[in-house]
Amino acid sequence: MYNLIRFVCRCFFLLFFRLKVEGIENIPRQGGAIIAPNHVSLWDPPVIGCAMSRHIHFMAKEELFNIPLFRQIILVLKAFPVKRGAADRNAIRTAVTLLEQEKVLGLFPEGTRSRSGILGTAEPGVVMIAAKAGVPIIPAAIVGTKDIGKFPRIFPQLIVRFGNPVVLPQGKVNREQIEAYSQQIMQSIGSLLQQYRGVT
């Protein structure tokens, strides 16, 4: 079912939004990895999912799983719940387990959508999970989703670019390392976005 939904969505994004994907070679063909994109729209998860060939698991806020129909859809799309506002040990444990099973995990470093579209700062969770599972983080830039359905650019071009992997030391990381790697990840996303400033 996942492959079918992705195929239909990818056709939709290619036909109406001229989806362009670059840097796909930066995603490991096997093994665990975290995809870390900017986040400006609810369209971001499906666009990222359609931009890559490997299945991707996303954390989704717990409230979404309380909507019966939507719950079924996001479960099929391999999402799992996370409680916002505090460290959710169950969600972290699920994320690490998936990565140890050599799955791909999608995590938005900022933790929530940027309403303004301006890139914010990273929460520590992405680096901590990556270090604990011993997997690389692939920064990614999503361009165009914020303008979907907005006049006059109802169908803006969508661009996804995956950057070079950020490799962390495996195991426990200290506060300084978390801050340094988090900053590196956001700088990488910023550089990827800068290349497409004004593209819609």
Write the pLDDT tens digit of every residue in 80-117. 988 876 678 999 999 999 999 999 999 999 988 988 88
Residue 101 lies in a domain: yes
Cα 91–chain centre separation: 16
What is the domain count for the chain?
Answer: 1
Domain region containing 45: 2-194
Helical packing angle, 2-17 and 44-51, nearest 10°: 100
Residue whose token pair is 């490997």: 54
Give the pLDDT confidence of 53-76 residue by residue, as tens digits: 999 999 888 888 888 777 877 877
Residue 80 is encoded by which pair of tokens? 């799992």
Residue 199 lies in a domain: no
Q: What is the pTM of this model?
A: 0.92
Residue 200 lies in a domain: no
pLDDT greater than 50 at residue 171: yes
Give the pLDDT confidence of 19-63 residue by residue, as tens digits: 999 999 999 999 999 999 999 998 999 999 999 999 999 988 888
Confidence (pLDDT) at 85: 67
Residue 134 lies in a domain: yes
CATH number of the domain residue 184 falls in: 3.40.1130.10
Q: Which of 115, 117, 95 is nearest to 35 (CA)?
A: 95
Residue 179 lies in a domain: yes
